[in-house]
Amino acid sequence: MIRAVVLAAGKGTRMKSATPKVLHEVCGRPMLWYTIDALRRAGVEEIVVVTNDELQARISDFGVQGIVQREQLGTGHAVQVALRELPHRPGGRIVIAYGDMPLVHEEIFRGVLGSLESGNGEAPALAMVTVKMPLPSNFGRVLRRGNDVERIVEVRDASPAELAVDEMNAGIYAYREDALRDAVDRLRNDNAQQEYYLTDTIEDFVRGGKRVVPVMAGDHLHVLGINDRVELAHARKEMNKRLCAQYMRDGVTIVDPDATYLEPELQIGRDTIIYPNSTIGRLSEIGESCVIGPNARLSNAKLGDRVTIRESVILDSELGSDISVGPFAHLRGNTVLSDNVKIGNFVEVKNSKLADGVKASHLTYLGDAEIGEDTNIGAGTITCNYDGKNKNKTVIGRNVSIGSNTSLVAPVTLGDGALTGASAVVTKDVPAGERVVGNPARPLPKK
Ligand code: UD1
Ligand code: MG
């Protein structure tokens, strides 16, 4: 079994935020989520995060164990704190990574774990990821002896000659647990930052005749560490690009990936087209051949096939197939639309169920309503669902015709085939087939 320790207790001072750094979001997920996700994909079963108090309070969101490092005395100290809590598994492997690298990829973890096992000649005690990067850089420099790593020098401790080295320590390591436990207790803090550096275990290994092998990462973006909000925006852009490419390869047309904002773990069916300035998040599921946007916002929205959403907002709602919404509509709060519904411009629907074929084409508010098949809601209809204390229900049957500007004062029920005249104020239930007009609405005399 492979264990991972993710270091995330640092204060993240440069974010200038009340929120712990690794909880800042990249494409709808805290950045820590991405490291954990990549580790899981790489087959790591046990993941432990070194936290501070604020992060510890949220760690159960991630389904991993948190170990609090009360004082942040450096990356080596963070590992000491973790290892003291974790039972020793002789012969085990431990991956160590930092929690602020949202662009990290599972392949990097697979690669470093693989190198720990292979390494020509004597088995290495540590395999670590290095990366070529344009200078200047704040990353620790990798000093080599032949093909192996001899030492890492942090920027603040480096000589000018060492600073000129362009191979960096990415901050991703696969250790043999026995060797790590042995070395970590010998770390000292006699450096410029007076911190216990995890990277000093390397020099310790080399001195003890153990091998440290580098694994060069192809793309330095994958190991980009986020320290401030400028880097956060950069990471978001990169991640969004990656996500758009993934959905496009699965058969979705994205007209402008630079102006389309997606999240991981969405379901989007083939031949759906997404027009610019659209945001789709929170586990939304979209069927095939839908048209989303321009200017759509979907969050926790479930859509069937052939649904068109133009310039509209859909939150926490479920839509069937062959539906058209917008422009400028707002669906929210557990709204459920059956197939063939039409929601036109300036219509808000909250916590309502609309059956097959219902139309509300213009300027309407439907709240806490249940509407039967093929009913037509005229322009300007309002369900007056709130009496100042309670939210009340409006129940409308099938094939009902609601006239323009009708006010439906809830709780109220209209039977199948009923009709209201323009500007009716309906305060009492209307039986099936009855036609009502006026304020308050009264039945039309029978002809
Ligand atoms: C570290 C590496 C450096 C590498 C760089 C890559 C060390 C000494 N240096 O430098 O070689 O190039 O990352 O990004 O490891 N943390 C704790 N507890 C602590 C201190 C830090 O949990 O006491 C966590 C932080 O939350 C962060 C990670 O460890 O997620 C890295 O710490 P940071 O101080 O940012 O290290 P760097 O100076 O970036
Ligand atoms: Mg850092």
Taking 80 as the threshold, does the pLDDT of residue 18 lie above it? yes
How many CB atoms sit inside 10 A of residue 336's CB? 18
**What is the Å distance from ligand 2's center to 75 Cα?**
10
362 catalytic residue (yes or no): yes
Q: What is the pLDDT of residues 208-247, one digit of tens each?
A: 999 999 999 988 889 999 999 999 999 999 999 999 999 9
Beta bridge mates, 6: 49, 97
CATH superfamily of 252-443: Hexapeptide repeat proteins (2.160.10.10)
Q: What is the pLDDT of residues 59-78, one digit of tens each?
A: 999 999 999 999 999 999 99
CA distance 208 to 206: 5
Question: What atom in ligand 1 is closest to the CA of residue 51?
Answer: 22
**9-30 burial, b for 16+ CB within 10 Å, e for fewer?**
bbebeebeeeebbbbbebbbbb
Taking 90 as the threshold, does the pLDDT of residue 280 lie above it? yes
Rounded mean pLDDT of 197-203? Answer: 97
Please report, for the chain, the start and end positions of each structural domain, with discontinuous segments joined by +: 2-223, 252-443
**What is the Å distance from ligand 1's center to 78 Cα?**
10
Mean pLDDT taken over the chain: 96
pLDDT for 119: 57
pLDDT for 120: 67
CATH second-level architecture of 2-223?
Alpha-Beta Complex (3.90)
Q: What is the pLDDT of residues 115-174, one digit of tens each?
A: 999 756 788 999 999 999 999 998 999 999 888 999 999 999 999 999 999 999 999 999
pLDDT for 1: 84
Q: What is the pLDDT of residues 343-386, one digit of tens each?
A: 999 999 999 999 999 999 999 999 999 999 999 999 999 999 99
How many CB atoms sit inside 10 A of residue 60's CB? 10
Whether 78 is in the pocket of ligand 1, judged by its Cβ within 6 Å, is yes
What confidence category does residue 11 fall into, taking pLDDT thresholds of 50, 70 and 90? Answer: confident
**Residue nearest atom 25 in ligand 1 by C-alpha distance:** 10
CA distance 376 to 262: 35
pLDDT for 273: 98
Taking 80 as the threshold, does the pLDDT of residue 446 lie above it? no
Task: For residue 151, give the ligand nearest its CA.
Answer: 1
**What is the Å distance from ligand 1's center to 82 Cα?**
15
**Residue nearest atom 19 in ligand 1 by C-alpha distance:** 74
